[in-house]
Structure 1
Amino acid sequence: MNSSLKLSNRDRAVLMKAPFLAGLGNSALVRLMSMMTISTLPARKFVMREGETADAFYCVLNGYVRLFRLSREGREADIMVCAPGDTFAEHLLFNDNVYRCNAQTAEPATLARFDMQAVRDLAQQDPEIAKALIAAISRHLVGTMDCIANDRLFTAPQRVANYILSRCPVEGGSASIRLPFQKSLLAGMLGLAPEALSRAFSSLRRVGVTVRGRIIQVGDVQALKNI
């Protein structure tokens, strides 16, 4: 890990779009970024572990980070996959002092790290920063509720179809998308076992969905919408 890296232009652009920074004025932005360090991590490196003291929260600048929990028997339950621009662990700023899940890089990643106590102190001094952080936490809550509802309301093929449709570049006809990560990571993201994901892809063949590696071909986007 290297915590002395400087922001590249690309990473800066990603960071500026992060929800808790996007709406800040220049003064508040400078103060918050002064507490930030940039780190590079290899694939499958733990960023935090469940039960450890929550001393920082993070923003993904490049790569993907997987959040998950472990049972006593060692079974894994995926919570979410954080993409560039996503933040994680900031919900612990105001109500807890230990991490509630594990975070592990799915591939080499660049992260912005924010010291929890320093940001907490700054939020108490600056209402603009406090409001931005509360808004970011609120968005996470809404996203969590949507995720729970999708798990209850949609079948495995429908979850996969919805993921594909959310990334399709067209509204009708044929389309092609490329998964940004391995299918095993997509399975966890959708709350499916790898074998359940494979069965879901197989069931979608009847509407013209084919998979070759990370490339997903959709024969008829409209037909996929009707799943």
Structure 2
Amino acid sequence: MHNRSRGQGVRPGEKPEIANLPLFREMQETQRERIFSGSFLQVFPPQLTLFELGQHPDFLHVLIDGLVELYAHSAGRDTTMRIVEPVTSFILAAVVTDQPYLMSARTIAPSRILLVPAALVREVVKDDLALMQATMRELAHAYRDMVRALTDMKLRQSAERLGNLILRQDHRQGGRGQVTLKAEKRLLASLLGMTPENLSRAFAVLGQHGITVTGASVAITDRAALEKFVRPDPVRDDLV
């Protein structure tokens, strides 16, 4: 796990970028300075454990650049719960409730992360309405993401889940029909509740329904065929 030294606060040159993050953008200047004074930016290498399931949260983590895996483990088995992309916080619910983490976190790629002391978040959120509202929005988005993932797992077969992930990533990456898979396929398989072998078979199935795959790049060559197979729901699948 990473070194939890508190550092010297956010540096002056870092403040404009941090002030523009969705969580802090609308805050009162004096309250934002309280956040700045206790927080710090840190760059972490790949495959570094940030925290573990059951650990009490010392910090709120805000991913600014990079990629982070949230995962659970029991009886020698791991499963990927979420792949965190910038810019967002994780795991805010544990910080707000002052409860142990229900997941572990590790970096997938070199990652730049803002570390805000958990106790400071709980203090400032009581004094700043904008931070309270932003916190509620982030918690709501996290809840909706969980519902989407759960309904996807229960209502779609493996190839359909993979196709839906590709459509959602295409939407997030500009809708040009060229998708870059940001995590390795082993992690995608775990995220989607598959074995790596099942993921390979799912890619083969989707090859008959409008996609071609080259390494980490996926081209949507027939969007109508892919959508007919996957049956995306614009609301439930966050495509609106």
Q: 2:218 aligns with which of 212, 216, 219?
A: 216
So what's the TM-score if we normalise by structure 2?
A: 0.81
Give CA deviations for 1:159-191 in whole Å, capped at 9, x if unaligned.
Answer: 1111222233558xxx33222221222223323
Give CA deviations for 1:48-103 in whole Å, capped at 9, x if unaligned.
Answer: 011122111111111100000111x2101211011110211211133233222110
Structure 1 counterpart of 2:40? 37
Instruction: Report the CA distance shift for 1:179/1:137 in structure 2 as closer, same or farther (over 3 A).
Output: same
Structure 2 counterpart of 1:137? 139
Instruction: Report the CA distance shift for 1:149/1:53 in structure 2 as closer, same or farther (over 3 A).
Output: same
So what's the TM-score if we normalise by structure 1?
A: 0.85
SS at match of 1:93: helix
Structure 2: distance between partners of 1:161 and 1:101: 26
1:22 positional shift: 4.2
Give CA deviations for 1:127-149 in whole Å, capped at 9, x if unaligned.
Answer: 33222212211221121111111
- Tell me the percent identity: 23
Q: 2:20 aligns with which of 16, 20, 26?
A: 16
Structure 2 counterpart of 1:163? 165
Instruction: Give the counterpart letter for 1:202 in structure 2.
Output: A
Q: What is the correspondence of 1:1-227 to structure 2 with a 5 Å cutoff? A: 6=11, 12=17, 16-18=20-22, 20-71=23-74, 73-168=75-170, 169-170=174-175, 175-227=177-229
Instruction: Report the CA distance shift for 1:123/1:193 in structure 2 as closer, same or farther (over 3 A).
Output: same
Instruction: Report the CA distance shift for 1:58/1:7 in structure 2 as closer, same or farther (over 3 A).
Output: farther
Instruction: Give the counterpart letter for 1:156 in structure 2.
Output: S
- Total equivalences in the alignment: 220
Structure 1: distance between partners of 2:87 and 2:175: 24
Instruction: Report the CA distance shift for 1:170/1:97 in structure 2 as closer, same or farther (over 3 A).
Output: closer
1:226 positional shift: 0.5
After superposition, the CA RMSD in angstroms is: 2.5
Ranges in structure 1 where 5+ consecutive residues have no aligned partner: none
C-alpha contact (below 8 Å) 2:80/2:191 kept by paired residues: yes
Ranges in structure 2 where 5+ consecutive residues have no aligned partner: 230-240
